[in-house]
Structure 1
Amino acid sequence: MSSPVFLITGCSTGFGRELSRVALDRGFRVISTARRLETLDGLKEQGAKTWQLDVTSPPHEIQAFAAEIWAIYGHIDFLINNAGYLRGGAIEENTPEEVMAQFNTNVFGLLNITNAFLQYFRKRRAGMIVNISSQGGSLNMVGAGIYCASKAAVDSLSDTWSRELAEFDVKCISIQPGMFRTSVSESSNLGRGSHRIPEYTVPDKVIVEYNAATGTERGDPTKAAVKIIDFISDTGRDLPLRLPLGEDAFEALKAFHLHRLDEIEKFKEWSVGTGFD
Structure 2
Amino acid sequence: MAVTPVWFITAASSGFGQAIAIAALRRGHTVIATARNPSRIQDLAAAGAHTLAFDVTSPLSTIEGVAKDVFAKHGRVDYLINAAGFMLEAAVEEATPEEVYQSFNTNVFGVMNTLRAFLPYMRAQEVADDGVRGVVATFGSLGSWRGVAGGAVYAMTKWACSALAESLAMELEPFKIKATVVEPGYFRTGFLNPGTLASSKVRIDAYEDEKTPTGQTRRRLLVTDGNQLGDVNKGAEVVVDMLSGNGAASGRELPVRVVLGSDTEKVIRDKFESTNKILDEWKEVLRSTDSPLN
TM-score by length of 2: 0.91
The within-5 A match list for 1:1-277 is 1-124=2-125, 126-200=133-207, 201-234=212-245, 237-273=252-288, 274-276=290-292
Residues 1-43 of structure 1: CA distance to partner in whole angstroms, max 9, x if unpaired? 2221111100111111111101101111100000011001000
1:250 to partner: Cα distance:
1.2
Q: How far apart in 2 are the matches of 1:102 and 1:184?
A: 14
Q: How far apart in 1 are the matches of 2:176 and 2:91?
A: 41
1:231 to partner: Cα distance:
1.0
Q: How far apart in 1 are the matches of 2:145 and 2:116?
A: 24
Q: How far apart in 1 are the matches of 2:267 and 2:46?
A: 39
AA aligned to 1:14 is G
Q: Secondary structure of 1:199's partner?
A: helix
Q: How far apart in 2 are the matches of 1:50 and 1:182?
A: 21
Q: How far apart in 2 are the matches of 1:188 and 1:72?
A: 35
1:198 to partner: Cα distance:
1.7
8 Å contact from structure 2 (residues 239, 258) kept in 1: no
Q: Secondary structure of 2:174's partner?
A: helix
TM-score by length of 1: 0.96
| Structure 1, unpaired ranges of 5+ | none
| Identity across the alignment (%) | 35
AA aligned to 2:35 is A
What is the Cα-based RMSD across aligned positions, in Å?
1.3
Question: Which shifted more, 85-94 or 37-46?
Answer: 85-94
Q: Secondary structure of 1:165's partner?
A: helix
AA aligned to 2:7 is F
| Structure 2, unpaired ranges of 5+ | 128-132
Q: How far apart in 1 are the matches of 2:153 and 2:71?
A: 33
AA aligned to 2:265 is F
8 Å contact from structure 1 (residues 89, 204) kept in 2: no
Q: Secondary structure of 1:75's partner?
A: coil
Q: Secondary structure of 1:93's partner?
A: coil
1:50 to partner: Cα distance:
0.3
8 Å contact from structure 1 (residues 5, 76) kept in 2: yes
1:211 to partner: Cα distance:
1.4
Question: Which shifted more, 168-177 or 123-132?
Answer: 123-132
* Aligned length in residues: 277
Q: How far apart in 2 are the matches of 1:188 and 1:59?
A: 27
Q: How far apart in 2 are the matches of 1:182 and 1:104?
A: 22
Q: How far apart in 2 are the matches of 1:69 and 1:147?
A: 30
Q: Secondary structure of 1:229's partner?
A: helix
Q: Secondary structure of 2:88's partner?
A: strand
